[in-house]
Structure 1
Amino acid sequence: MNRILAAALAATLGTAASAETLTVGMSGGYFPFTFVKQDVLQGFEVDVMNAVGEEAGLDIEFETMSFSGLIGALDAGRIDTVANQITITPEREARFAFSQPYVFDGAQVVVRDGNDSIGGVEDLKGRTVAVNLGSNFEQLLNDLPYADEIDIKTYESNIAQDTALGRVDAFVMDRVSSAQLIAESPLPLALAGAPFSEIRNALPFRDTDEGRALRDKVDAALTTLKDDGTLAEISDKWFGTDITSAE
């Protein structure tokens, strides 16, 4: 019996020792996707990556840093991927190997509550609009036909506070995060109009043999987690709805 138990333990330890580590970068400051509460890193992205690790047999190691530094860290090989609502864009697709999308969302204008002069993206002409540094929302605004009439300000933090205080006229973020921020924050903020651009968020990997192999392993796990309803359950836990499906 002891020999059997020892063999089983050795096999278990051997499996654990040989498990591949996936180093995942995130900001830890993008509620409710990734945030720190009582010194614990948590959120939708954390739950998704832990589920991916369990399904794919990967040890997940989280590295937190400023959002604007995440892509550079991926390029430099300090992390293997980024789980922080990274939107697929043509420019990023040319640089990285993306997993399948696991969040479907839209860009949203947010204003100080009571600011009825901005009813949506078409009213941003002549306005000062904040976006998070390193996000794709600056490019979305620059793609508008009247982009030269918008004063875009990039922020590392305080994007919502400065909008609520009137230091900028509006900010642009994804609709899911915006709605959650408004629901959880005492700041006087409101959604302005409907989302103006569909966005698909996925996990980027370096476009190398090793990076693509990791991508394929993670992608297979995401497919299983979608099919068995795990992603939908995680989404419902954090948002009360399923943001992981395009349907």
Structure 2
Amino acid sequence: MKRTLTTATVLTFAAVVALTGCSTSAADSDAGSDQAALDDSLSAVLESGTLTIGTEGTYRPFSFHTDGSGDLTGYDVDVARAVADQLGVEAEFEETQWDAIFAGLEAGRFDTIANQVSITPEREEAYVFSTPYTYSTGVIVVPEANTDITSFDSLAGKTTAQSLTSNWNTLATESGATVQGVEGWAQSVALVEQGRVDATINDKLTFLDYKKQSGAAGLKVAAETEERSESAFVFAPEGTALAEAVSDALATLTEDGTLAEISDTYFGADVSQ
């Protein structure tokens, strides 16, 4: 995670410079102190008593409204509420379309985003991230009775159902599979269940959610990618202090089993580590 200097770090560095006689200009020192002083992200949240979180509200099972009461719920929502509780503040959600969610963060409409934001090098250049609270792999989903497909290499000569614009289509093609194009997960998993294709590749969280909701009788994971995606809370560049406090809260929630419990509620497995 890309981090800027905290006030404590700046003061420690200044003390070392003074003791070792390094020649640091007064202007440079003042600039560093000013930068640290501007990071009031944590104190502002604590003083207001509210952590404002940007989320879609239409992204099941991470952020959505229940069919009955209409209340906002989901894995990311519950994790955010638990983090806010650790900070001793209330969680307040600002529902925003994905296309505008980063602009909302930059404009200060909310303190952070909780919406399965993957950590990427490009995003780390522009934002600050907490430690991850979701990890996932790509998986091959096949019928329970299938014994031919045990790895991505064994997809060669097989047929998979994939959305043609997805990275999973690229992986299937590179693995030597013949791809049948579909609109999304619902169609692809239906074709696997009907025996019309040999397999489909998708995100593990998608399969776990489907298994939790439907039982996914007759399906299994044949193989997983070695690479894992990591999702975390994301903050504006001046939000390092708040990001570190959220990371500390996530560590506590991991140790006391809260994240594992929330994970099990939505996925039937611990996706938080």
TM-score, normalised on structure 2? 0.60
- State the alpha-carbon separation in 1 of the partners of residues 252 and 222 from structure 2: 35
Please tell me whether the aligned partners of residues 78 and 262 of structure 2 are also in contact (alpha carbons under 8 angstroms).
yes
- Aligned-residue Cα RMSD (Å) equals 3.9
With over 3 angstroms needed to count, the CA separation of the structure-2 counterparts of 1:154 and 1:76, relative to structure 1, is farther
- State the alpha-carbon separation in 2 of the partners of residues 35 and 168 from structure 1: 31
Does 2:193 correspond to 1:201?
Answer: no
Pairs within 5 Å for 1:10-159: 18-31=48-61, 33-37=62-66, 38=68, 39-56=70-87, 57-63=89-95, 65=97, 70=98, 72-77=99-104, 80-111=111-142, 119-124=150-155, 127=159, 129-130=161-162, 138=167, 142=170, 146=174, 158-159=184-185
- State the alpha-carbon separation in 1 of the partners of residues 182 and 114 from structure 2: 21
- State the alpha-carbon separation in 2 of the partners of residues 20 and 182 from structure 1: 35
Does 2:253 correspond to 1:225?
Answer: yes
- State the alpha-carbon separation in 2 of the partners of residues 104 and 201 from structure 1: 5
Q: Structure 1 stretch 102-111 or stretch 161-170: which is displaced more?
A: 161-170
SS state of the match for residue 160, structure 1? helix
- State the alpha-carbon separation in 1 of the partners of residues 65 and 164 from structure 2: 19
Structure 2: give runs of 5+ residues left out of the alignment: 1-44
- State the alpha-carbon separation in 1 of the partners of residues 119 and 136 from structure 2: 12
Q: CA deviation at 1:73?
A: 2.4
Structure 1: give runs of 5+ residues left out of the alignment: 1-14
Please tell me whether the aligned partners of residues 129 and 232 of structure 2 are also in contact (alpha carbons under 8 angstroms).
yes
- State the alpha-carbon separation in 2 of the partners of residues 132 and 96 from structure 1: 30
Q: Deviations over 1:193-229 (max 9, x none)?
A: 121134243324244214x343223222212222333
- State the alpha-carbon separation in 2 of the partners of residues 132 and 216 from structure 1: 39
Pairs within 5 Å for 1:226-241: 226-241=254-269
Q: CA deviation at 1:98?
A: 1.6
The amino acid across from 2:104 in the alignment is G
With over 3 angstroms needed to count, the CA separation of the structure-2 counterparts of 1:186 and 1:58, relative to structure 1, is closer
- State the alpha-carbon separation in 2 of the partners of residues 150 and 234 from structure 1: 38
Please tell me whether the aligned partners of residues 25 and 81 of structure 1 are also in contact (alpha carbons under 8 angstroms).
no
Q: Larger Rg: 1 or 2?
A: 2
SS state of the match for residue 223, structure 2? coil
SS state of the match for residue 224, structure 2? coil
Please tell me whether the aligned partners of residues 112 and 236 of structure 2 are also in contact (alpha carbons under 8 angstroms).
no
SS state of the match for residue 77, structure 1? helix
